[in-house]
């Protein structure tokens, strides 16, 4: 049986460098999926180059990825989209929602955008005030998915911290299901810049294998007495240690990774982690989670690595909470 005849939703995880489309049932069951490299940066650059509006360019990108699903469907399919698609560089800016918020109990106000395939409902990002205001876009969907998975396990934590490693790492505080605070660290982006544009890039020799000894060395320096100098005060050691013969050129990348992640983790555990919280949940790329796990364990912080494939189900849940399923549920099972 054609999956499109029983589908109830098209969900989009539209990020900076790629777009993933999911054909789904209301209960979160995944029927089909597709992906391409039409992230928001590619689409906006295409629009600029061709002299078209962003709305036209994003509409075309959407049709190219999944118009066949709508052609084959026997009933209307609502569309929900999360990620950077709702940023000021995306299809249309979706306003942020201020904290605190319980994403499982309070429906997020989706931002509607017209398209040739139907209205695209964009998930808003989250914002937190203060002297250093924070914003997130895309991570709120991942957090919702992780909370849903925990709800299934019937072991909800009263107080928890979730860490989402990445280009801009997020540390998120959640109490009784309510997101109350978060902090952002440009660790991934800084690491990429350091290894591509700084003086360290001239010495670095890439290696296929992770040099865990060099990584642990960087973490220990960042968390030790020398770490009091701050990241900028210890970063040059990635060069000086090579010049003195104490670090291989192939270990520079992992050593710098240890310095950057070690500095982030040490500062957050010392100054941000709530008293009494000695456990964090990691959600993200498995390789990055492994690096953060080892850094956190050095400070006696226990770690649980959550399933990273939670976005599709979270999008279906948010669509349901926003009452996008107005059409009758298909009666046939796939």
- The answer to whether the CB of 333 falls within 8 A of the CB of 25 is no
Q: Are 14 and 61 in contact (CB under 8 A)?
A: no
Question: What residues have CB less than 8 Å from 284, skipping those under 6 apart?
Answer: 164, 165, 166, 308
Using pLDDT thresholds of 50, 70 and 90, give the confidence band for residue 333. very low
At 169, phi and psi to the nearest 5?
A: -65, 140
Model pLDDT for residues 94-127, shown as the tens digit of each residue: 999 999 999 999 989 999 999 999 999 999 999 9
- 3-state secondary structure string, 273-287? CCCCCCEEEECCCHH
Task: State residue 331's pLDDT score.
Answer: 46
Q: Rounded distance, CA 146 to CA 1, Å?
A: 31
Q: Is the pLDDT of residue 48 over 80?
A: yes
Examine the pLDDT at 153 and tell me if it is beyond 70: no
For the chain, give the mean pLDDT: 93
Q: What is the pLDDT of residues 57-75, one digit of tens each?
A: 999 999 999 999 999 998 8
pLDDT at 308 over 90: no
212-223 and 252-271 are packed helices; what angle lies between their axes, rounded to 10 degrees?
40
pLDDT for the residue numbered 11: 98
Is the pLDDT assigned to residue 288 strictly greater than 60? yes
Looking at residue 166, its pLDDT comes to 94
Q: What percent of the chain has pLDDT over 70?
A: 95
Per-residue pLDDT at 327 exceeds 80: no
For 220-261, the pLDDT digits (tens) are 999 999 999 999 999 999 999 999 999 999 999 999 999 999
Name the one residue in this structure whose structure tokens are 């039409």.
38
Of residues 3 and 44, the one with the higher pLDDT is: 44
* Burial group, residue 68, by CB count within 10 angstroms (0-12, 13-18, 19+): middle
- pLDDT tens sequence across 175-214: 999 999 999 999 999 999 999 999 999 999 999 999 999 9
* Residue 90: both structure tokens together: 């995306």
Where does the pLDDT of residue 1 fall: very low under 50, low under 70, confident under 90, or very high at 90 and above? low
Classify burial at 1, counting beta carbons within 10 Å of its beta carbon; exposed 0-12, middle 13-18, buried 19 or more. exposed
pLDDT on residue 156 = 59
pLDDT, tens digit (0-9, with 9 covering 90-100), for 214-227: 999 999 999 999 99
């Amino acid at each position: 049986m054609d999956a499109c005849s029983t589908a109830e939703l098209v969900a989009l995880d539209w990020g900076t460098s790629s777009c993933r489309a999911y054909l789904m049932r209301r209960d979160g069951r995944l029927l089909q999926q597709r992906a391409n490299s039409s992230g928001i940066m590619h689409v906006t650059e295409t629009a600029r180059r061709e002299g078209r509006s962003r709305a036209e360019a994003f509409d075309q990108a959407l049709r190219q990825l999944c118009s066949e699903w709508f052609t084959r469907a026997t009933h209307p399919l609502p569309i929900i989209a999360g990620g950077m698609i709702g940023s000021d560089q995306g299809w249309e800016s979706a306003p942020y929602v201020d904290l605190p918020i319980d994403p499982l109990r309070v429906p997020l106000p989706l931002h509607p955008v017209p398209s040739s395939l139907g209205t695209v409902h964009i998930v808003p990002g989250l914002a937190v005030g203060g002297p250093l205001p924070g914003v997130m876009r895309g991570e709120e969907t991942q957090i919702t998915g992780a909370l849903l998975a925990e709800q299934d396990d019937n072991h909800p934590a009263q107080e928890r911290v979730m860490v989402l490693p990445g280009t801009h790492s997020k540390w998120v505080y959640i109490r009784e299901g309510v997101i109350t605070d978060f902090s952002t660290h440009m660790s991934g982006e800084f690491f990429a810049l350091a290894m591509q544009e700084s003086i360290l890039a001239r010495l670095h020799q890439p290696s296929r294998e992770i040099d865990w000894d060099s990584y642990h060395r960087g973490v220990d320096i960042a968390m030790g007495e020398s770490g009091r100098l701050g990241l900028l005060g210890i970063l040059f050691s990635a060069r000086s240690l090579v010049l003195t013969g104490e670090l291989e050129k192939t270990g520079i990348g992992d050593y710098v990774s240890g310095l950057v992640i070690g500095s982030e983790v040490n500062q957050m555990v010392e100054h941000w982690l709530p008293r009494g919280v000695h456990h964090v949940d990691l959600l993200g790329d498995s390789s990055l989670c492994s690096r953060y796990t080892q850094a956190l364990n050095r400070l006696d912080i226990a770690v649980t690595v959550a399933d990273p494939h939670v976005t599709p189900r979270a999008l279906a849940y948010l669509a349901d909470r926003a009452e996008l399923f107005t059409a009758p549920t298909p009666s046939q099972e796939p």
